[in-house]
Amino acid sequence: MNHQAESPVDAGKNGKKATFSAGSHIDVPRVVVIGCSGHARVVIDILEQNHSCRIMGLLDTYRHPTTTVLGYQVLGSDDDLRALVDANICDSVFVAIGDNWIRSLVVDRVKRLVPDVRFVTAIHASAQISRNVSVGVGTAIMAGAVVNSGCRIGDFCILNTCSSLDHDSTMEQYSSLAPRAVTGGSVSIGAFSAVAIGAVVSHAIRIGEQTVVGAGATVVNDIPAGVVAYGTPARIIRQRTPGASYLSGRNYEPPTLPVPPPSPAIVHLLKNLAVLSSQAADWAAYLQRAPHDYFHRADFHSMAETLGSGRASLAVYGNSDKFLAWPFIMQDIEDCGGCSAGNLKDITSVYGYTGPIASGCENDQSFLLSAWNAMVDMWRSYGIVSVFARLHPVLANHRLLPHLRSDRVNSHFSYDEFGEGKTVAIDLLPSREETWKSYDRHLRQALHRLLALGTNVTLDPEWKYLDDFIRMYYRTMKRNNASAFYLFPGEYFCKLRETLGSHGSLIIAHCGDQVAAGGLLIEYGGIVHVHLLATDDAFVSLSPSKLIIHEAQAWARARGNRLLHLGGGRASRTDDSLFRFKSMFSDNFYTFYTGRWVVNQGAYELLTLKRENQANKLGFALSTSYFPAYRASFREIVGIGEEGDQTSPHAGLAPVS
């Protein structure tokens, strides 16, 4: 290295950079990038090419968690950083925000939230950095930039593409050079100041703080603080308020999630088919007439809509006496392999068990086929590329569909052929004593040990232990190498508490005065779902979650429910430890199905090809087990696995019929 970098992530001139292999003994930073803009994508490219850290995901207030940018998943907002660090999912951060003032506000907020987090520096391999140069933390130096001998660059600066900082010059913190901006030697650029595209600053010029030099300007005299100057030669045009935007023309306002505008009750109408918005009163009316679960409800879908998942709708074919209804989330396709998807969209499910419901037509195959065809017509009219649905194992609503894969040849098949796996449920109709006897012998012994140690379990319907639960949940996901898909942001849990109301409760296990484990229960229509389960690292060997499930079934039975649904194994597998753990409680299994349909084959193949090409350029292989393939993860991330909840080979899919 020829320069003095004050950060663990950097690259020297002539392409020399710190390179760490997966098995290296060096502590490779696990980085989250804050921001999803074009500037953030450039920073991601630098970090990837340097191979000096592992990008765990992105944080952005304006992007919905689980959306991706260049193959990396948005994990939440900066509010979630503390929990991610505590769970050891990440230990470093890069604030990739182009505006100098906004970048400083975000950095200050991060420092308050997580005082011990590391800020990394991103320097492109093609940047020419001379000896005796110091580079502050959090700084980005882009491709082709030149920094000559004796320069000092402060913290959180930006030297953009092909910019040049000549010898013995200084950039104070949060200052920036835009693409092809050039300085002479011994120049001083004040904190928060920006030199715009193509500007030239002569030798020994001093630019004050909070000043903007306009594009193409030629600066031959010193410029004071707090002004805007441009022209040849540059002259002061006006005073400038600290924090005033120079990139978008807007002053900074604290970020808030955009609230979707109210939707009309009926957003689409075809022959015998209506598409209702989540605000439509008829949504609840249809659900009342058919077997359903809480996951089908409008408020649950509206929660996903509020969090930015997409647009929630209920498609209904038929009339109030005889109908098939199907709730779904429609989302825009963007950042798939770096290609523009135009107005293309796809459809997915909320996180839970949903799929179609029906009334008066369950055995009418002709009606069900007509409903299916109407759904396909509706999808095509919306510009849908693919449809993914998690179906309900207990309601067995897969039987309402003519086929679960978009394969015209195989429209008549055994449904078991396409079962993703099994889920486990405890039948609550037998007595508590009979249920105890049905437990695996080793489970009964473990429960005796937990009780002997004084472990106790209490219901927490007011969610008083939510912070403890979130902390344990993140640690559990990290410990199990869970997909980034499951790293729900803190706002998800708060919205879930608000939405579920009396239908939701935490259940907490204490060992002495310590919180050892927790579960999140959803009770509705005679079924209690163990929606989420988490254990503190210190109590993993004790496995207090076993006692949580045992007490949950007793509580659910006492309230008149018929099933405690535990869910399935990781990625719906029946051969992993999670499924074996759940099957210790019951041999009452339900087959779990998903539906996967390609509606626009040409667009699907094009999007997938572009995503594969992007993965190949970076030296990665695109996962072949994720549907839709153009949203597949192709990053090898420490502690974060593939998004296993939507796994299935996609090769050979044909358009839906």
H helix or E strand, kind and range, residue 43:
helix 38-50
Say if residue 245's pLDDT is above 80: no
Shared fold status for 266-406+599-646 and 423-593? yes
CA-wise closest residue to 460 among 584, 552, 547:
552
Return d(Cα 259, Cα 196) in angstroms, integer. 34
- Write down the pLDDT at residue 269: 56
Give the span between the Cα atoms of 478 and 434, in whole angstroms: 36
Given this structure, which CATH class describes domain 1-258?
mainly beta
Helix or strand (DSSP H, E) at 34? strand 30-34
Structure tokens at 364: 């009418």
Q: Rounded CA gap, 137 and 367, in Å?
A: 64
197 vs 336 pLDDT, higher one: 197
Residue range 418-470, pLDDT digits in tens:
557 899 999 999 999 999 999 999 999 999 999 999 999 999 999 999 999 99
Sign of CA dihedral 465, 468, 474, 479: negative
97-111, 144-158, 283-297: range with lowest mean pLDDT:
97-111
Enumerate the domain spans of the chain: 1-258, 266-406+599-646, 423-593
- pLDDT score, position 250: 43
Distance CA 263, CA 280 (A): 9
For residue 505, what pLDDT band results from cuts at 50, 70 and 90? very high
Q: Express each pLDDT in 166-179 by its tens digit.
A: 999 999 999 999 99
pLDDT-based confidence at residue 80 (cuts at 50, 70, 90): confident
CATH for 423-593 is: 3.40.630.30
Strands 235-239 and 227-230: antiparallel
Cα 319 to the chain's mean position, in Å? 38
CA dist 572 and 338 (Å) reads: 30
Of the chain, the percentage scoring pLDDT greater than 90 comes to: 62
Task: Say what the alpha-carbon torsion angle 473, 476, 482, 485 is, to the nearest 10 degrees.
Answer: 0
92, 59 Cβ separation under 8 angstroms? no
Would the pLDDT of 3 be above 50? no
Report CA torsion sign: 438, 442, 448, 454: negative
Q: How far apart are CA 624 and CA 24, in angstroms?
A: 28
Lowest-confidence range among 4-13, 188-197, 231-240, 434-443? 4-13
Q: Encode pLDDT of 529-575 as tens digits.
A: 999 999 999 999 999 999 999 999 999 999 999 999 999 887 666 67
Model pTM score:
0.74
pLDDT of res. 84: 86
DSSP 470-535: HHHHHHHHHHTT-BGGG---HHHHHHHHHHHGGGEEEEEEEETTEEEEEEEEEEETTEEEEEEEEE
What is the rounded distance in angstroms from the CA atom of residue 34 to the CA atom of residue 302? 26
CA distance 626 to 645: 8
Give pLDDT, residue 342: 61
Q: Which of 350, 360, 284 is nearest to 317 (CA)?
A: 360
Q: What is the mean pLDDT of the chain?
A: 84
Contact 89, 47 (CB under 8 A): no
How is 608-648 classified by DSSP, letter by letter? HHHHHHHHHHTT----SSBSSGGG-----BTTBB--GGGB-
Sign of CA dihedral 107, 108, 109, 111: positive
Cis peptide before 628 (omega within 30 of 0): yes
266-406+599-646: in CATH 3.40.630:
yes
From 98-107, 254-263, 501-510, the region with the lowest mean pLDDT: 254-263
